Amino acid sequence: MPPEGHAGASPAHTETHAVQGHGGHHEYKLGDIPGPWLLFSNGLLVALVLIAFGYRASRKLAEIPGGWQNVGEMVVETFVGFTRGVIGEGGEKHVPLVGTLFLFIYISNLWGQIPGFHSPTANLSTTLALGLIVFFYVQIWGIRQRGLRGYLGHFWGPIPLAGILLFPIEVISELVKPFTLAMRLFGNIFGEDTVIIVLATLSVGLLPLAPVFPLHFPVLILGLLTTFVQALVFTLLTCIYISLQSHHDDHHGEEAGHAAPAHS
């Protein structure tokens, strides 16, 4: 016969359950950040979903596309238009990066809405890794576009003396970008998932008293919008960073061209 106190276990205890982690069983309380191995495995599942979609859409390419190929071509054309609109002519070169980032982030954000799964983007390690990918891609692209001397020169600015102050400021602002990308995405997705968990737990606690409307349902509906918005913001900022490296010299050339008639 179980101890008398077992029936009166506290709600906090009933909200915990054992999770099989990489190193064994441990207690996981609702609202806690899931273990890294759990989120890594969810990230792998998201990647497998994207790989399966890409394989299915390109398996049998035809002049008259079928259903899956139609969807794939529509997705690619959407990203081509998006990158050209933000970056400018030649922006379609960056569709592989921008498209992969958006789809991975968006599906990862939605992944946490499925019962039993967790959003990989609700972990700072995942979002920081994505931010670092963008950071190194943008720097490599800037060096390829300008050369090493031109790349370093754009941190210095057009005025030599002002560059003494501008150079460290510009370098610091560039180094901060991956962290701001990571923190923005992590904060919004983790906060949204936490609110859903808290409201869902509260709804379950009220069920014995009276049938109530699920408190987390409005947040779930809103989450369908915010997951898209967060993926869009991340990829939009990525395109803006690429654009700054691609057209920085063009802007200076235009400014110099406008200033020239004033001296004549």
Q: Is the model's pLDDT at 19 over the cut of 50?
A: no
Token representation of residue 115 = 């019962």
Q: Which amino acid is at 176?
A: V
Token representation of residue 94 = 């960056």
Does any domain span residue 256?
no
Does any domain span residue 2?
no
For range 219-245, the mean pLDDT = 88
pLDDT above 90: percentage of residues in the chain: 32
* Residue bearing the bigger pLDDT, 21 or 227: 227
Q: Is the model's pLDDT at 227 over the cut of 80?
A: yes
For range 231-259, the mean pLDDT = 71
* Residue bearing the bigger pLDDT, 246 or 124: 124
Residues 32-80 have pLDDT tens digits of 566 667 778 888 999 999 999 988 888 877 776 678 888 888 999 999 9
Q: What is the pLDDT of residue 101?
A: 95
Name the residue range of residue 47's domain: 33-248
Does any domain span residue 66?
yes
Mean pLDDT of the chain: 77
Q: Is the model's pLDDT at 21 over the cut of 70?
A: no
pLDDT above 70: percentage of residues in the chain: 70
Q: Is the model's pLDDT at 123 over the cut of 80?
A: yes
Q: Is the model's pLDDT at 97 over the cut of 80?
A: yes
Using the structure block, give the residue that is written with the tokens 């983007």: 121
Does any domain span residue 108?
yes
Q: Which amino acid is at 251?
A: H
The three-point CA angle 137-138-143 to 5° equals 100
Neighbours of 125 (CB within 10 A): 14
Q: Is the model's pLDDT at 23 over the cut of 60?
A: no
For range 229-241, the mean pLDDT = 94
Does any domain span residue 264?
no
Q: What is the pLDDT of residue 223?
A: 73
Does any domain span residue 6?
no
Does any domain span residue 158?
yes
* Residue bearing the bigger pLDDT, 84 or 250: 84
Q: Is 32 helix (H, G, I), strand (E, B) or coil?
A: coil
Where is 21: in which H helix or E strand? strand 16-21
Q: What is the pLDDT of residue 222?
A: 75
Q: What is the pLDDT of residue 32?
A: 57
Entry pTM: 0.74
Does any domain span residue 14?
no
Kindly give the residue spans of alpha helices, DSSP state H, lying in the chain: 11-14, 36-58, 67-87, 95-111, 124-156, 160-206, 217-263
Number of domains observed in the structure of the chain: 1
